[in-house]
A and B are shown apart, each in its own frame.
Chain A
Amino acid sequence: MQFLLRRLAFYLVAFWVAITLNFFIPRAMPGSAVDAVLAKFPQLLPPARKALEATLGTGNQGSLWSQYLTYLNHVFHLDFGPSLSNYPAPVTSIVANGVYWTIGLVGVATVIAFIVGTGLGILAGWRAGGRLDRSLPGMMFLQATPYFFLALLLIQVFGITLHVFPVAGAYDGINYTPGWTWPYIANVLDHAFLPALTIVVTSVAGWMLQMRNVMVTTVGEDYVMAAQAKGLSDRRVVFTYAARNALLPQLQGFGLAIGFVISGALVMEIVFSYPGIGYLLLNAAASKDTPLMQAIFLLITVAVLAANLLVDIVLVFVDPRIRAREVAR
């Protein structure tokens, strides 16, 4: 319990650092949102600056300390104000729209990649030196391939040359209206296929490699040898003896990967113009939309911190060694 409380305190500090960074970065950096708007519309006259500052709430607002307090107050009420690039839509509603596209796409793809990769890793580690195991260097190449490069290749082959899958957006907004109708859902799945494939193909190798390496070590343990000596079936030895113990580090990685689902495959979303969080963040950065950037960065940080905490909690329950260390302390 004390362990978890200490971790919780640590994540609170990390959260505070993140929101403070979020406050100071826009103020320390050259170029403000007002400058960005003025640069976009050169015909605006100088008095427009004052009007813009008043509308966007960026002008001089008292001391840094009082600004900081106001900012903290807004953060805790989830009030980030209007988005500058989509004025006057509030930031929260824009983010809410993006979030479920990302969770749907990246979340499902992450789970698929985890299951497939772990399964392959178990097989490769068990039959180390076998055919599957020898394919590892190829897998490493896939892992080292940047997401977006694979995405470009897939778009070229399936989207442009073969015309099998759509290459941009989350659904066809002209011919379909969103709702729980079959044609619309099919259209969404159609659009999600290539992005999801990109994520699965490039991340399967990582899971496989990690599982395989732990598995190889576990298979060499005496208790696995003992299980084999007892004459248990291969399947029983692999899954109940070896894989079960090799799975712990894998679970830890999975928890962290779930935390990164929100931040998503940022770059991949950009290639496919998929309206998720990554796409929003890049557009916000490109148009210097400070409120939107702040909200998205905070959301991603909170997701990652929450996932870390969750992993800590799960590990305490799953791994008796951590509990033992706790008692020893």
Chain B
Amino acid sequence: MKALARLWRRLPGTAKAGVIMLGVFLLIAIIGPEVTPYNPSVTTPLQAAAPSGAHLFGTTQTGQDVLSQFLIGVRLTLELAFWVGVIATALSVIIGVTAAYAGGLVDELLSLLTNVFLVIPALPLLIVLLGFLNGTSAGQGQLPVIFVLSLLGWPWGARVIRAQALSIRSRDFIAATRETGERSWRIIGFDVIPNMVSLIAASFVNTVLYAVGASVALAFIGLTDPNQWSLGTMLYWAQLGNALQIGAWWWYVPPGLAVALLGTALVLLNTGIDELSNPRLRDARSATKIASRRVWTTDPTPVFGAPDGHRGLAGLARSFSRKSLIDEAGVGTGNAEKAGELR
């Protein structure tokens, strides 16, 4: 508890804002569906009514309550993103660790597979896949979207995890364990993976971000089951019901804003933690000027031979940031490429 409090104090203001926003969304997702004032699918004669006491967020063109749809939408969207995060990260771990541990031809093949799936553009492939699934009996509910998004969401993490597993594998304590005659699965399960928990958590958070963006976009263009009230589906129905033409801003602004805020919360958290771990980014805030020249409050000269300094909670928190993925994998600016393709 004390460590948590200390970490909280050290967090930059932006990251605190991110944590709080994320907390609010989680709260809505947990209690929202329990407190919906109406059934979100029931149509009433009260069509496209502006927000009022009875309908806090107004109603849709067919008289459905927007607030009820919104509360369920946050839940479904977060739920989907969570499961995609879990499945895709599990795939990354299995593939990354297997490649690193098996080595040789298996490693070559799995690495090739990972890199190939990294360069093949994901969103068009998602559209093609869901285009076939949509409208068939296999395309109902959230499961097909979770399945397809997970199938395409693992390579980024797998690459990073493989790099880390390779480095852990070559350390002395693993060699020692092997000498004592431990079986491979035990070494992997009890020595390799526990040493990567922070990295695995990091790729989980990144996958969640990807899943929110992609699932909302896919739902908006009508490629998912339109009877599920996710945030994307709300936008889809708003577009279909000419919410713009009839000026029903209360219909599409809440879901759109929610997605934007959710994304902002995750990005804020990410960059805030980057700042926590990268002294230069942090000092930028406190740099002072003397005679119109920049003067650094701390000397940025690196200290050689010092441990990496990210221990305990701070180390875990740092690992949630996107920067750590880039650091540990030694890959270039994946940021832009990942963001670019989901648009």
Q: Check B221–A297 contact: CB distance below 8 A.
A: no
Q: How far is the CA of A308 from the CA of B137 in the complex (A)?
A: 38
**Chain B residues closer than 8 Å to A210, beta-carbon distance:** 333, 335-336
Task: Digitize B72-116: 1 where CB-to-A-CB distance is under 8 Å, 0 elsewhere.
Answer: 000000000000000000000000000000000000000010011
A129 in contact with B256 given A146-B217, A217-B280 (CB within 8 Å) = no
In whole angstroms, what is the CA distance A12 to B238 when docked?
43
CB proximity to A under 8 Å, residues B317-343: 332-333, 335-337, 339-341, 343
B123 — nearest CB in chain A belongs to which residue? A266
Is the pair B333, A149 in contact by a Cβ cutoff of 8 Å?
no
A140 CB → nearest B CB, Å: 5
With A13-B112, A270-B221 given, name 9 new contacts (CB 8 A): A26-B132, A140-B271, A141-B261, A144-B261, A149-B259, A156-B249, A202-B343, A263-B124, A296-B124
A10: nearest chain-B partner, CB-CB: B115
- B339 to chain A: which residues have CB within 8 Å? 143, 206
Q: Is B129 an interface residue (CB 8 A)?
A: yes
Expressed in whole angstroms, the Cα–Cα distance for A304 and B278 within the complex equals 32
Residues of A close to B262: CB separation below 8 A: 144
Complex Cα spacing A157 to B236, Å: 19
Taking CB atoms, residues of chain B closer than 8 Å to A136 are: 14
Residues in chain A near residue B249, CB distance under 8 A: 156
Task: Check B120 for interface membership: any CB of A closer than 8 A.
Answer: yes
Q: Is A21 among interface residues, defined by CB-CB distance under 8 A?
A: yes
How many whole Å from A121's CB to the nearest CB in chain B? 12
B260 touches A145 (CB 8 A): yes
State which residues 162-182 of A face B: CB under 8 Å. none
By a CB distance below 8 angstroms, the chain B residues around A256 are 336-337, 340
Determine whether A1 belongs to the interface, using a CB cutoff of 8 Å to chain B. Answer: no
Asked if A200 lies at the interface with its beta carbon under 8 angstroms from chain B, I say no
Min distance, Cβ B252 to any Cβ of chain A, angstroms = 6
Tell me which residues across on chain A come within 8 A of B221, comparing CB atoms: 266-267, 270, 282
Any chain A CB within 8 A of the CB of B170?
no
Contact assessment for B220 and A133 in the assembled complex, using a CB-CB cutoff below 8 Å: no
Q: A115 an interface residue at 8 Å Cβ cutoff?
A: no
Q: Evaluate contact between B235 and A30: CB separation under 8 angstroms.
A: no
Residue A219 lies at the interface, judged by CB distance under 8 Å to chain B:
yes
The CA of A268 and the CA of B123, in the complex, are separated in Å by 13
| Bound Cα distance A277, B36 (Å) | 40
Interface residue A152 (Cβ < 8 Å from any Cβ of B): yes
Tell me if B222 counts as interface (CB < 8 A to partner A). Answer: yes
Give the distance to chain B from A169, nearest Cβ to Cβ, in Å. Answer: 15
The yes or no answer to B296 lying at the interface (CB within 8 A) is yes
Residue pairs across A and B with CB atoms within 8 Å: the count is 200
Which residues in A have their C-beta under 8 angstroms from that of B293? 228
Q: How far is the CB of B115 from chain A (nearest CB, A)?
A: 7
Contacts of A304 in B (CB 8 A): 119-121
Query: Which residues of chain B from 267 to 311 have a CB within 8 Å of any chain A CB?
Result: 267-268, 271, 274, 278, 280-281, 283-287, 293-294, 296, 300
Per-position binary interface string of chain A over residues 207-245, scored 1 when its CB falls under 8 Å from any chain B CB and 0 otherwise: 101100100110110000000100000000000000000
Taken together as a complex, chains A and B put the C-alpha atoms of A26 and B128 apart, in Å, by 9
Question: Do the beta carbons of A216 and B284 come within 8 Å of each other?
Answer: yes
Smallest CB gap from B248: residue in A = A156
A285 located at the interface, meaning its Cβ lies under 8 Å from any Cβ of chain B in the complex: yes
**Contacts known (A25-B129, A140-B268, A286-B131); A267 close to B337, Cβ less than 8 A:** no
Contacting pair A253 B131 (CB below 8 A): no
Complex: A11 Cα to B112 Cα, angstroms: 10
Known contacts A31-B136, A220-B296: A300-B121 contact under CB 8 Å: yes
Which residues of chain A in 132-157 are interfacial with respect to chain B, using CB atoms and an 8 Å cutoff? 133, 136-137, 140-141, 143-149, 152-153, 155-156
Give the contacting residue for A249; candidates B138, B238, B266, B332; CB below 8 A: B332
| Nearest opposing residue in chain A for B243, CB measure | A152
A286 to B339, CA, bound (A): 25
Q: Which residues of B contact A10 (CB under 8 A)?
A: 112, 115-116
Bound: A206/B334 CA distance, A: 12
Of the candidates B137, B247, B340, the one whose C-beta lies within 8 Å of that of A257 is: B340
Taking A286-B131, A297-B128, A304-B121 as contacts, is the C-beta distance between A145 and B17 under 8 angstroms?
no
Q: Which residues of B contact A153 (CB under 8 A)?
A: 253, 256
Complex contact A263–B121 (CB within 8 A): yes
A160-B244 in contact (CB<8A): yes
**A186 contacts B by Cβ under 8 Å:** no
Interchain CA distance A143-B284 in the complex, whole Å: 22
Given contacts A129-B286, A146-B217, A266-B127, A137 and B112 within 8 Å (CB-CB): no
A187 at the interface (CB under 8 A from B): no
User: 0/1 per residue, B239-259, Cβ < 8 Å to A?
Assistant: 100001101010011001101
Tell whether A271 is near chain B: CB-to-CB under 8 Å: yes
Chain B 118-155 near chain A by CB (<8 Å), digits 1 or 0: 01110111011111111111100000000000000000
The verdict on B263 contacting chain A, using a C-beta distance below 8 Å, is yes
Q: Does B58 contact A (CB under 8 A)?
A: no
Closest Cβ of chain B to A24, distance in Å, is 11
A285 in contact with B335 (CB, 8 Å): no
Q: How far is the CA of A138 from the CA of B17 in the complex (A)?
A: 12
For the complex, give the distance between the alpha carbons of A256 and B331 in Å.
Answer: 14
The chain A residue sitting closest to B118, CB to CB, is: A14
How far does the alpha carbon of A213 sit from the alpha carbon of B280 in the complex, in Å? 9
